[in-house]
């Protein structure tokens, strides 16, 4: 919010500087008789109210944002602009009147007033620029820090997830490896051979292999009888 206030004040101050320069140039043309008094006053009176509104808005913004020093600095100029606009005599063309600008010597006073306002607005411009730059830099730094924290949190979360998945993969690999080792042992244990020897009606050896379809009988020669 503070950065927005000072950026707006900076832009408004630039507009007021251009208006002050315009007032000075127009009054100089009148002093040099390049234009007549009526044309000069008509041009200047068009910008009196915009100048008043622009400076009043800045003053109110400084009051709302609690920048008391800048508010007190702008208050006299804003008060003078309001007073000058309200206290225009009836029958006059405006703040700048062609019948009075030469007769009462108001041309020099208007010129001096425009020069003072130009210096004041230039001072305010550098003041707003000085105050707006650290605020904008601080907000930019906070934004960068927030993005870095978010990136670090995202990276940490992704790393933890990847580690968890890798541990599960390792456990699954170990289980499959153990199963691969134990499976041949189980098969070797199950594939038992049953041998049967008989001494009656000849000697035969019965060989049964589990997992095989053929059952074979092999005759074993009888041992020699010792008489």
Confidence of residue 180 (pLDDT cuts 50, 70, 90): low
Strands 216-220 and 203-207: antiparallel
* Of 26, 53, 55, 31, nearest in space to 41 by CA: 26
**Which residue intervals of the chain are DSSP H helices?**
2-31, 37-45, 48-64, 68-86, 106-190
Q: Note the pLDDT tens digit of each residue in 86-96.
A: 999 888 888 99
CA 88 → CA 57, 193, 215, distances in Å? 22, 127, 130
Question: What letter does residue 203 receive in the DSSP assignment?
Answer: E
Confidence of residue 130 (pLDDT cuts 50, 70, 90): confident
Q: Note the pLDDT tens digit of each residue in 98-108.
A: 888 877 678 88
Q: Is a pLDDT exceeding 70 seen at residue 198?
A: no
pLDDT value at position 160? 54
Q: Note the pLDDT tens digit of each residue in 142-158.
A: 444 555 565 555 665 65
């Amino acid at each position: 919010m503070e950065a927005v206030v000072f950026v707006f004040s900076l832009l408004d101050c630039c507009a007021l500087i251009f208006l002050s320069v315009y007032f000075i140039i127009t009054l100089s043309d009148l002093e040099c008789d390049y234009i007549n008094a009526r044309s000069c006053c008509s041009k200047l009176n068009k910008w009196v109210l915009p100048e008043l509104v622009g400076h009043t808005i800045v003053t109110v913004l400084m009051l709302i944002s609690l920048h008391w020093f800048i508010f007190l600095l702008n208050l006299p100029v804003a008060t003078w602009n309001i007073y000058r606009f309200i206290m225009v005599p009836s029958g006059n063309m405006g703040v700048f009147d062609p019948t009075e600008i030469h007769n009462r010597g108001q041309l020099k006073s208007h010129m001096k007033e425009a020069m003072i306002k130009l210096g004041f607005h230039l001072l305010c411009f550098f003041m707003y620029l000085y105050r707006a730059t650290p605020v904008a830099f601080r907000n930019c730094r906070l934004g960068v820090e927030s993005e870095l924290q978010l990136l670090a949190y995202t990276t940490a979360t992704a790393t933890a997830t990847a580690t968890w998945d890798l541990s599960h993969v390792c456990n699954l690999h170990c289980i499959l490896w153990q199963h691969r080792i134990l499976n041949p042992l189980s098969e070797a244990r199950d594939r038992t051979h049953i041998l049967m020897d008989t001494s009656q009606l000849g000697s035969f050896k019965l060989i049964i292999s589990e997992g095989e379809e053929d059952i074979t009988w092999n005759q074993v020669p009888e041992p020699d009888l010792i008489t």
